Structure formats: structure tokens, C-alpha cells
Chain A
Amino acid sequence: MSEAKEGRPVGIVLVSHSAQVAASVAELAQKLAGGGTDVPVAPAGGTEGGELGTSAELIAAAAASVDRGAGVAVLTDLGSAVLTVKALLAEGDELPENTRLVDAPFVEGAVAAVVTAATGADLAAVEAAAADAYSYRKV
């Protein structure tokens, strides 16, 4: 696992259709990572009006808020969350440089991403850890 440049942590953005889901998963992941870590995690849940849905503005703001120069890993739940992040990435200048949509299960992936980022790992390692959460079978 390579060290992130200058010890800066990778930022994590959690995009859900629900503000409560995004915020709760962020809290869960941070607590399971041992709390008190300096990994910046930002939820981007629901629409700006507080409804269920996806907001491009909230996602862009969350990504900007967690960017420390080491890259930003974005995890999403369903449909429009995935498509909106992809569309923002395609715009080129809406998200911080070195932002990646990570293909991972939302809750398990978020925990893996935050725990891994807390070790000082770089974006590729965070992405790999989150994606690897798909291989963890429950039965």
C-alpha cells in the first residue's frame, strides 16, 4: 500500500438518494475507522430541497470540501446517483482533479474506503479496498 503524497488523506464522498442514509453511513464508516481520524468524509444525500433524489450541486460541494490534494473517492447508491456523478465527471471541471467514482457496495464500500484512507493509503488503494467489499459474501 503506497503512502499518499505529503501525508494528505484521500477524501471520501458518499452519495445517496436519502440525506439520512448518506449522513448515517458517513458516521458509521468514521466510527468504524476508529473515529478521530483525519479522513475527510462528506455526505451528499437527497436533493437541495431536502427531498429524496440526487443533487449535482450537493455532490460538487461535498467533493470540494473533502479535497486535500490526494484525490477524492465517490461512492454512490442507486441509479441517478451513479449517473449524476458520471455526468459530472464527464463535464471535466465540476469535480476536483483526481476524483473517481468507485464501483463498490455503498455501506461496506464506505467502511472499507474510510478505514483504508485512514492508514494513509493513496486513491488507488482506497478504490481497491472499497471495490473488494463486493467479494465479501454474507452466506
Chain B
Amino acid sequence: MLDADFFRRWMTATAASVDREAENLTALDSPIGDADHGSNLQRGFTAVTAALEKEQPQTPGAVLILAGRQLISTVGGASGPLYGTLLRRTGKALGDAAEVGAEQLAQALRTGVDAVMALGGAAPGDATMLDALVPAVEALGDGFAAAATAAREGAVATTPMQARKGRASYLGERSIGHQDPGATSSALLVEALVEASDE
């Protein structure tokens, strides 16, 4: 079973990973976006870590709802409301249970991913975070490692795609040949599940 501590470790592992990869994310965002994905997410997850320490939420759902709220407030770019909605809706779907099972987390994440789809109006194949998240949620039944692999492969698979959402979509065919920064950061989020469960 996964308790609030696991979800805190998931968020802090994501924050550490975003810190490590911030320059890489921003480099991916330079040719097709506004070159701020790494620094925006870094600011957001730094706020998440600080808020979790200060407020000490006691349930898995409360951890994710607080984290999502921080991202919406502090990121400053489109990844704020998108990741914020993902975590908040996932947290809400978990309800106020003190511990949740892997299957429950998979279902809740699916609710969160659906909410991201509704908010941004994107679908898999549009070269967005959904290209990492959707396959990850589908693979989650086989464990966190399988989900992480699916997310990483999904992120890499955005390279030949033409972006249909966000700033990159203005580039039309010139967006082809670039790995999507949002799908890449989504892979970091899913990979952090593995790190959180190793402890």
C-alpha cells in the first residue's frame, strides 16, 4: 500500500529530477517553445517541496492536491495549469484514504490524465505531455518500472510528430524533429514513481 510518505517522496523525487534536468528541458524548449520549460517547472516544484514541508498533508490525496495548487500558482507558463490539473484531479480521485493500492493510483492517474486532455484539448499524437502520460497510465498495471519505460519511450516518440498544441504548433512542419519538452518532463514525473518506491 502507498501512504502519504510515498506521495511526498514522489513529489520530492520529481523536484530533484526537474532540478537535475532543468537545463536539458529548457534546451528542448528553445527551438520550438519559449525556452522556459525547465526554469518554470523548477520554480513550480521548488514551491511544491516547500509547501509539503510546511503544511505536512496527511493523506495521498491531500499531498497531490496541495502540489497541484502550488504548480498552478507558481509556474507562470502553460505547464503550471496542466501539471497542476493532473495532480489535483489525481489527488481528488484518491479521496481521503490514508493509503491507496497501486490499482487505485492507476485509476486516479487516468482521471487526472483525462482532465489534462479536457483542459488543453490535446490528444495523443499531438506532441504533448499526453504522449508520455497516456502510455504510462496504460502500462501502470505492470508496475512503476513498466510505466516509466512507457513514458520515456512515449517522450522519445514525439520527435517525428508535428506539434498541434501550444507555442510549438505555430511552427507547423518545422516542429517535426524535436522531442517535446512537456512529454520529456512527464517522463521525469513517472520515473520518480520508481525512485519513490525504492526507499
Contact surface of A with B, Cβ cutoff 8 Å:
47, 51, 53-57, 78-80, 83-84, 86-88, 90-91
B36 contact set on A, CB distance < 8 A: 53
B84 contact set on A, CB distance < 8 A: 87
B73 contact set on A, CB distance < 8 A: 55-57
Once the chains bind, are B119 and A56 in contact (CB under 8 Å)? no
CB proximity to A under 8 Å, residues B92-151:
115, 119-120
Interface size on B, residues (CB 8 A): 20
If A83-B120, A87-B119 touch, whether A56 touches B85 (CB-CB below 8 Å) is: no
Closest-by-CB residue of B relative to A78 is B167
A4–B157 alpha-carbon span in the complex (Å): 52
Chain A nearest CB: distance from B114 CB in Å? 13
Once the chains bind, are A80 and B78 in contact (CB under 8 Å)? yes
Once the chains bind, are B77 and A80 in contact (CB under 8 Å)? yes
B88 contact set on A, CB distance < 8 A: 91
Once the chains bind, are A79 and B167 in contact (CB under 8 Å)? yes
A90–B72 alpha-carbon span in the complex (Å): 12
Q: Out of A53, A79, A87, which one reaches B72, CB within 8 Å?
A: A87
B166 contact set on A, CB distance < 8 A: 79
Task: Produce 1/0 per residue, B22-64, CB < 8 A to A.
Answer: 0000000000000010001000000000000000000000000
Once the chains bind, are A83 and B76 in contact (CB under 8 Å)? no
A56–B47 alpha-carbon span in the complex (Å): 14
Once the chains bind, are B76 and A88 in contact (CB under 8 Å)? no
If A54-B77, A54-B80, A80-B77 touch, whether A88 touches B72 (CB-CB below 8 Å) is: yes
Closest-by-CB residue of A relative to B120 is A83
A54 contact set on B, CB distance < 8 A: 76-77, 80
Question: Is B81's CB within 8 Å of the partner chain A?
Answer: yes
Once the chains bind, are B76 and A86 in contact (CB under 8 Å)? no
If A79-B166, A79-B167 touch, whether A87 touches B85 (CB-CB below 8 Å) is: yes
Chain B nearest CB: distance from A62 CB in Å? 15
